[in-house]
Amino acid sequence: MATDEDDLYRLLYNDVPAWTLCFLNDGVGKPLFLSKWQCEFVELEKRAKFIWTLCSRKVGKSTVLGVKSAHDVCGPDIERIAIFAPTHSQDFVYENVRKFLKSSPYLFENFIANDNADRIDAKNGSVINNRSVSQNTGGASVRGEFATKVLVDEIQSIEKSILNQIIQPIVADAYSDKTVYYIGTPNNMTNPDLEADWERHKARSKTNLDYAYFVVDCWRGIEEGCINAQYIRDQQEDLPRPDFQMEYEAKFPDTSQRFYTMQMLEDCVDTKYHFLDGPRPGYTYIMAVDWAKYLNNTQIVVGEVDLRNLHLSYCEWYMFNPKERKVDYEEQVDKVLELFWKFNVSWICPDSTSTQDAIIELLKNGTENHDGIPLPRFYGYDRDKNTDAQNLGYKATLQKNDEMHRNHRQQLVKGRISIPNQRPRERRFYERWVDEHHNLHVKNVSGSQHIRLVEGPGHDKDLAVTCAMLSLFLKERDKKPALMDIVGW
């Protein structure tokens, strides 16, 4: 039994759901009952320090983080709470805290000294800071922040670089005993490494009790009365299956259906390699081009090959995006030839399009600014048979498209391909490369044993296709006995 008001408060304070019920309301004046998962969630801090929760949309994420922060700022300890949101317009958690505190006269009078849009001060010196880490600011204002609690809402919308440069260092300093919450959906559009990070976090939780993970999908949400079942059924009908899984079932899109797995792609990263200004002695340079059809992009990729171990590193990249600017083929060919001669490329694989004849003619004959490409350096040119120019380039028919991707995947798995990811251009290339590869889904073609790779909604595949064409060089070399590995023309 409580002896006085302070004692009663202390008793309630130690039971977060009871405290919530007594002091917070749901915004329309009714006491706030935490749902079952929210009750479990607020208890997690008693046993773990780094808590990552994957949730369905609309299940009450921002609310529970708001409850937690309001609770912690009205307690006996001096806390410094940093609430992160991807942008200021998404600071739902912080706004929830303010709403909760303002609508509770008891809490506001007894604990709060000041509150404004960026910061809440408690009478005992505790602080809550509202932090946005948008791309524009680069999160600069937040660098060097010190906190005892770090709460990150919509973790999936925060870029990898910001996570590494801003949030991780706060987590890393060991001077203060702190708790970190990540909460969000398993959407890896913004941060392609999110799934791998999540898997690592889960693995760590098996051996290190400071790490905990928690999953709340829409089905649990419905069962516990957090979301409307009809709304979920409608969403299930409206959304493509992988999107529904991500947004509501708290599952990273089914990777078993992925032809290129995230792990396979991440394993290719070479943090020490960069794009090159020109050729280096002892290496062979190759190139692939996928010409834009309709509204996709033209992609030009140059690779540096070490013939001693058949290792390929991407060393230059250029793309034309017709949505930004319409570029005629002559200008595109000109760029291809520029890069071709800059690297003195010995093997080029253009895709063969319906406009193939005209483009191949241009590539062979050259432009105003650059010489054309000698026939023997084209993919598809067979010196023995002296193949006709019509067959130059790669025509990815059903079977050949299948072969091309299987070869590319094999080369990736063999560890023969490296991708740089450190500097800005390299980073853009890497992010697009991972995104496009990973989002190719396998579709079986009825009446054939071949597969078709289809891009996910909102994703391109032109860069992945170009890189798969580039890998054909490795396949060609594989077939020949080692002695013939010397390229000459």
Ligand X SMILES: Nc1ncnc2c1ncn2[C@@H]1O[C@H](COP(=O)(O)OP(=O)(O)OP(=O)(O)O)[C@@H](O)[C@H]1O
Would you count residue 336 as binding ligand X (CB under 6 A)? no
Shortest Cβ contact with Mg ion: which residue?
62
Contact 317, 425 (CB under 8 A): yes
Which range of residues in 53-61, 122-130, 144-152, 295-303 is near ligand X by CB under 6 A?
53-61
- The nearer residue to ligand X, 27 or 415, going by C-beta atoms, is 27
Contact with ligand X (CB under 6 A) among 13, 22, 33, 406: 33
Which range of residues in 54-62, 121-129, 142-150, 461-469 is near ligand X by CB under 6 A?
54-62
- The nearer residue to ligand X, 60 or 420, going by C-beta atoms, is 60
Token pair for residue 436? 């496009």
Dihedral sign of CA atoms 382, 387, 393, 395 in order: negative
Nearest distance, CB of residue 64 and ligand X, angstroms: 7
Pair type for strands 211-216 and 298-306: unpaired
Strands of 384-450 (E only): list them. Answer: 417-418, 440-444
Which amino acid type is present at position 309?
A: N
Contact with ligand X (CB under 6 A) among 24, 59, 151, 419: 59
Contact with ligand X (CB under 6 A) among 35, 53, 332, 401: 35
Nearest CA to 231 out of 33, 36, 56, 39 is that of: 56
**What secondary structure does DSSP assign to 303-367, as a single string?**
EEEETTTTEEEEEEEEEE-TTT----HHHHHHHHHHHHHHTT-SEEEEBP-TTHHHHHHHHHH--
443: helix, strand or coil: strand
Nearest distance, CB of residue 217 and ligand X, angstroms: 12
Nearest distance, CB of residue 328 and ligand X, angstroms: 45
Would you count residue 61 as binding ligand X (CB under 6 A)? yes
When CB distances are held under 5 to 8 angstroms depending on the partner's kind, the choice from ligand X, Mg ion, none that residue 58 binds is ligand X
Which range of residues in 56-64, 141-149, 183-191, 304-312 is near Mg ion by CB under 5 A?
56-64
User: What is the distance in angstroms between the CA of the first residue and the CA of the last residue of the chain?
Assistant: 93
Binders in 75-94 for ligand X, by CB under 6 A: 92
- What's the rounded Cα separation, in Å, for the pair 426 and 218? 38
Which range of residues in 56-64, 169-177, 287-295, 371-379 is near ligand X by CB under 6 A?
56-64
Which range of residues in 77-85, 90-98, 169-177, 179-187 is near Mg ion by CB under 5 A?
90-98
Strands of 86-136 (E only): list them. Answer: 112-115, 119-122, 127-132
When CB distances are held under 5 to 8 angstroms depending on the partner's kind, the choice from ligand X, Mg ion, none that residue 57 binds is ligand X
Binders in 87-126 for ligand X, by CB under 6 A: 92
Contact with Mg ion (CB under 5 A) among 20, 38, 56, 62: 62
Nearest distance, CB of residue 29 and ligand X, angstroms: 12
233: helix, strand or coil: helix
Nearest distance, CB of residue 52 and ligand X, angstroms: 15
- What's the rounded Cα separation, in Å, for the pair 157 and 167? 13
Count the residues of the shown chain that bind ligand X, applying the rule CB under 6 A: 16
Which range of residues in 25-33, 59-67, 260-268, 422-430 is near Mg ion by CB under 5 A?
59-67
Contact with ligand X (CB under 6 A) among 34, 107, 276, 286: 34
**Which residues sit opposite 350 in a β-bridge?**
289
Nearest distance, CB of residue 297 and Mg ion, angstroms: 34
- The nearer residue to Mg ion, 95 or 478, going by C-beta atoms, is 95
Q: b/e map of 429-459 (b: 16 or more CB within 10 Å)?
A: bbbbbbbbbbbbbeeeeeeeeebebebbeeb
Would you count residue 63 as binding ligand X (CB under 6 A)? yes
Nearest distance, CB of residue 433 and ligand X, angstroms: 30
Which range of residues in 34-42, 156-164, 191-199, 315-323 is near ligand X by CB under 6 A?
34-42
Token pair for residue 19? 């405290």
Nearest CA to 183 out of 19, 50, 17 is that of: 50
Give the contacts of 105 (CB within 8 A, at least 6 positions apart): none
| Torsion from C-alpha of 24, 29, 31, 37, nearest 10 degrees | -80
- The nearer residue to ligand X, 194 or 463, going by C-beta atoms, is 194
DSSP state of 163: I
When CB distances are held under 5 to 8 angstroms depending on the partner's kind, the choice from Mg ion, ligand X, none that residue 63 binds is ligand X
- The nearer residue to Mg ion, 114 or 228, going by C-beta atoms, is 228
- What's the rounded Cα separation, in Å, for the pair 231 and 101? 31
Would you count residue 38 as binding Mg ion (CB under 5 A)? no
Nearest CA to 426 out of 290, 273, 302, 296 is that of: 273
- The nearer residue to Mg ion, 153 or 351, going by C-beta atoms, is 153
Would you count residue 32 as binding ligand X (CB under 6 A)? yes
Token pair for residue 337? 């030839």
Residue ranges binding Mg ion (CB under 5 A): 61-62, 92
Residue ranges binding ligand X (CB under 6 A): 26-27, 32-35, 38, 55, 57-63, 92
